[in-house]
Every structure is written in structure tokens, then in C-alpha cells.
Chain A
Amino acid sequence: MDFAGIVELINSKFGDGFAAVEEEAAPETVQVSPSQWGELAPFLREGESLSFDAMMCITGIDEGAESENLAVVYNLHSMKHNHKLEVYVPTPRAAPKVPSVEQIWRIADWFERETYDMFGIEFEGHRDLRRILLPSDWDGFPLRKDYQFPETYRGIVVDKMKEGWE
């Protein structure tokens, strides 16, 4: 099924204008709010003509330090129908929260932990949300644009970032 067909199917299920599509900024991407994502995800997985059975990738996004939003991007794929979909879920920087889909796609477990690790986005309903790549006592979320590089780690002085080539 092509992108227009998928959007039509979603809107016929949840009502017109449920999923926003910004043709200019991000073609072929569906934008929904976190609460809508909670409703949409099971439908994408179970819907007979959609059946997105594979979660390919979950990416955290920071649009820039001046932007008020962080976002999570979900790349879905259907092994059965061989079509794909990208879902963009913005969430406020002050209290980033997105419903977890860990029990719908099992791989989302680790992907969400990684996104939490790097961006501090909390996935509500995740059964084991803790850091995965960084040490458990790490301060801050490194891939955010406003991240401050630490000066020490456990009392060890970290070298300053050097500008340009030596």
C-alpha cells in the first residue's frame, strides 16, 4: 500500500485530520501527538491491511536548542505487505513523555532504552526503562543539543574539547 492509502486508512479509523502530514517539511511522514501515538500503534500492528510487524528503527530527535520540542521518529515496515511508514511524535522538552510500544514490538524495548539514554525521553509503560549504552550513573543526556560536556567523571578530569586541528 502506498503512503496516501495508509494515511487514508488511519484517518478513516480515527477521524479526519487525526494524522497530520506536512508535505513540505517532511514528505511521507505522519505526525501525531504522544497520546494519539498510544492509540495508533496497536492499530498499525494489528490492522489487517496494514500489519506493520517490524519496527525498523526508533530515533530520538532534537530540533535544536532553541526549539521547544524533542521528538521520536518511528520507522515501521510490514514484512507481509512490504510497505513502510514513518511516524513523527513531538514531545515537549521540559517533560518529554511518549507512550511505550515495547509490548507491541519487542525490539522497541532496547530502542526505547537507547532513546531514553541519549535524550531523556520517558517512555510511559516501559517495564525496564534504564540506561543501556552509558554507565548508569551518567549525568545528562548527551545527544540533546543543550548538553553540557562534563568536566569530571568520578573525580577524573576530562580533557577540554579542542577547537580545530592541533
Chain B
Amino acid sequence: MGVAVEKELGSVQGEEMVLNIGPQHPSTHGVLRLKVKTDGEIITEIVPYIGYLHRCFEKHCENLTYEQAIPFTDRCDYIGSMNNNFGYAIAVEQLMEIKVSEKVEHMRIIVAEMNRLASHLLAIGTFGLDVGAFTPFLYCFRDRERILDLFEMLCGARLLYNYIWIGGVSHDFPVGWVEKTYDFLDYFEPKISEYNELLTYNKIFIERSADVGVIPADVAVSYGVTGPNLRGSGVRGDLRKDETYGIYDRFDFDVPIGTGAMGSVGDCWDRYYVRVRELEESVKITRQALDAMPRDGDVHAALPKKIRPKAGHIYSRTESPRGDLGFYIASDGSDTPSRFKMRSPAFTALSCLDEIARGWMISDVIAILGSLDIVLGEIDR
């Protein structure tokens, strides 16, 4: 017996194995390739290869006028398009010193927060899917569908809206839209506890996500991790509060952070749960904005006739569903930008994958990647 075991172990290879995950793999949330070095089942190194979805966004935008760039921002983060439009519009408005009307300010907040709901629902659902819970995914998509229907009613598009323009928005709210949105919020709010029952406090889900893939706060800051991922690590950083833009300073909402309720601060569960808590906050903001919105006014009033900012540059940041979305726009006084750079939050979040996933199992990498909520369209641009 002893000899047999020895013989068997003698032929076991002790070297590392290289495993390719992706580019076509359902758990990579797009076309991402991970070259994973493993020692048995344990990860020793991950090298992400990105760029499969590179569409020369920045080069395109340097050859287009400012308003033509808006549909391109849609296609970067196609899960949170409204927030991309919003971030870009704010950057150009700061560059040109345009002031939009009260009504438009409120409308922008409403659509941006509704879009954040849709984005977080997708994040929650697919994270559950990644760790093996199929049903909550369907529940999330059922509710996300209603938001997309509302957006379709608003501007005709379900994902790529081109809705927030420089100096205004493309359409006024259609008749009955505000009431429908109130109805949706009334319907949606109780559903959050349904997700909690289904997924958040599910024993298997907690086993898979608590204490897994901890991002310590200093590592998160050094890697430029922002948004819910940073807040999951216990850092109260939210641009809507810290560096407020639009009229976010008028609304009353909390910034949830990870507390390590199920494991330790900054684990996958914390990142997930921050998103669930943010659903409640977004509902709160949307309600307040709907209540306070002036009902009359022309949404096209502040649209500039010719968008030609004077020479100069701007770096502006907004809080997209994935975190700190930055636009660096340099103008040389002509009607196309001379430099157009987008700082994408998913890009920075993915860059820390190697650091946090080392030492975990292959199945945990899928959980960690799901909890980071990346969108490859935004990473590759």
C-alpha cells in the first residue's frame, strides 16, 4: 500500500499550470481574458488581457464635434449610459460655463438615479448568477425591465439613450411619465427586501462571498478603486457628497459602506451589500427629485447654438454606478476637442484583480470578478 501511494505521488507534477479564462466565457462579463497561473487549485498570479472591445473611442471623439460625442459615451458603459451622458455633459458645461434650468437639473438627477438602479440590479443579479444562484437574477431582470420600459417611453431607446445633452436633455418627460415613475418606485421599494431574503442572507451565498477577496482600504485607494467597490472597503467616498455636482447637495441620502457584517470589511459580500443598500438610497433621491421638480419649463432653453469652447481644458468627475467617472477634455477653440480622455472606473477596479485574487481558489476568482461589477465596454473604450 505504502509503496503504491509513493509511486503515485512520485508521478504527480508539482509545477504551476497556466489556465486561460475567456475571452469568451460567461463569467467574465464581456470579452476579457484572464491568464491564470495556478498551483493546484490555488491562484498564484492573474494577468488580465483587455482590449478585445477597443473601439478607438478617444480617437473618434477627437474627430467629432462635441454634441456628436454623446452617443459614443453611451457605448462605453452601456449599463449606465445616462450617467455617462451626464458626466460628459457636465464636463463640457463647465468648460463653456453653461447654466441649465432648475427643471433640467432635476430631470437629470431622476434619470441618472433610475439608471443607477438598473445598473445595480444587473450587478446584483449577475453576481448571484456567478456564484450559482440563478433565481435572483430573474427577479432582478424583471424589475430592471420596468426601468428600461420607462426609459423607452422617455427617449425611445432601452440602453443607449443619448438623452442628456450639453445644456439640456433631448426630450421633456412625456405625459404620464412622472406618475408611472412614482408607481414604479412604490412597486420597487418593497422588492429590495425580497432580494435580501432570496440572496443576501442565503447561507450558500454567504459562504461563497463572505471573507473572500478582501480589498483593504489602502490597497483600494492606491489602485484607484472607486464607487461601491471602494465603499465596500469601508471608505466613505462618494462624489455626490464629497465633490457634489448638479444639485445632489439638495437631497437627503446616506452613503452606505461595508461593515464586515458577514465576514471582514471589504470582502465580496460587503461590495455586494453596498449595492443593495444603494438601491434604497437611489429610490430616496429619485422620490425627492420628483417631488421638487418644477413641472413647467423648456428643456432645450439652454442648448448652445454652436458648441465651441474657448481654448482650455477641464478634468471633471462624476459618480457613475461603477464609481469615479472622469473626463479630461482639452479644447483648442475649434468645434472638435483636441484631447478627449475618459477615466473609467471599471478599468481601475479590474487592475487590482491580481493583487486581491492571489491565494484564492479558481472558483473564488469568478466571485471576486463578479463582485467588482466591471463592464468591458468601459474598460476597453
Those of A127-143 within 8 Å (CB) of chain B: 131-135, 142-143
CA distance A62 to B338 in the complex (A): 8
CA distance A56 to B54 in the complex (A): 21
Point out the residues of chain A lying under 8 angstroms from B224, CB to CB: 54-56, 105-107
Point out the residues of chain A lying under 8 angstroms from B328, CB to CB: 57, 59, 73, 75
Point out the residues of chain A lying under 8 angstroms from B50, CB to CB: 132-133
CA distance A54 to B243 in the complex (A): 15
Report the minimal beta-carbon distance from A45 to chain B, rounded to whole angstroms. Answer: 9
Q: Which of B56, B317, B332 contacts A142 (CB 8 A)?
A: B56
Q: How many residues of A contact B (CB 8 A)?
A: 29
CA distance A62 to B223 in the complex (A): 26
CA distance A79 to B224 in the complex (A): 11
Q: Mark B267-300, 1 if CB is under 8 A from A, else 0.
A: 0000000000000000000000000000000000
CA distance A53 to B217 in the complex (A): 11
Of B148-156, B248-256, B340-348, B364-372, the one touching chain A? B340-348
Question: Per DSSP, are chain B's interface residues mostly helix, strand or loop, or mixed?
Answer: mixed
Point out the residues of chain A lying under 8 angstroms from B312, CB to CB: 26
Does A110 lie at the interface of the complex (its beta carbon under 8 Å from any beta carbon of B)?
Answer: yes
B223 with A106: CB separation less than 8 A: yes
Does A118 lie at the interface of the complex (its beta carbon under 8 Å from any beta carbon of B)?
Answer: yes
Q: Interface centre among A62, A73, A133, A143, by most B CB within 10 Å?
A: A133
A75 with B326: CB separation less than 8 A: yes
B54 with A105: CB separation less than 8 A: no
B222 with A105: CB separation less than 8 A: yes
B339 with A133: CB separation less than 8 A: no
B51 with A53: CB separation less than 8 A: no
Q: Interface centre among B223, B341, B347, by most A CB within 10 Å?
A: B341
Q: Mark A88-115, 1 if CB is under 8 A from B, else 0.
A: 0000000000000000011101100000
CA distance A57 to B351 in the complex (A): 14
A57 with B315: CB separation less than 8 A: yes
B326 with A56: CB separation less than 8 A: yes
A133 with B380: CB separation less than 8 A: yes
CA distance A110 to B243 in the complex (A): 25
Name B218's closest neighbour in chain A (CB-CB): A53
A61 with B330: CB separation less than 8 A: yes
Contacts known (A59-B339, A110-B347); A118 close to B324, Cβ less than 8 A: no
Point out the residues of chain B lying under 8 angstroms from A61, CB to CB: 330, 339
Report the minimal beta-carbon distance from A8 to chain B, rounded to whole angstroms. Answer: 22
B223 with A143: CB separation less than 8 A: no
Does A122 lie at the interface of the complex (its beta carbon under 8 Å from any beta carbon of B)?
Answer: no
Point out the residues of chain B lying under 8 angstroms from A118, CB to CB: 58
Point out the residues of chain A lying under 8 angstroms from B59, CB to CB: 142-143
19 contacts between A and B (CB under 8 A): A26-B313, A53-B222, A56-B343, A57-B315, A59-B341, A62-B339, A73-B328, A75-B326, A75-B343, A79-B237, A82-B242, A82-B243, A106-B352, A107-B223, A107-B348, A110-B348, A110-B351, A133-B380, A135-B51
Extra pairs beyond A53-B221, A107-B223, A118-B58 (13, CB < 8 Å): A26-B312, A26-B313, A55-B224, A56-B224, A57-B315, A57-B343, A75-B315, A82-B242, A86-B315, A105-B222, A106-B355, A133-B380, A142-B56
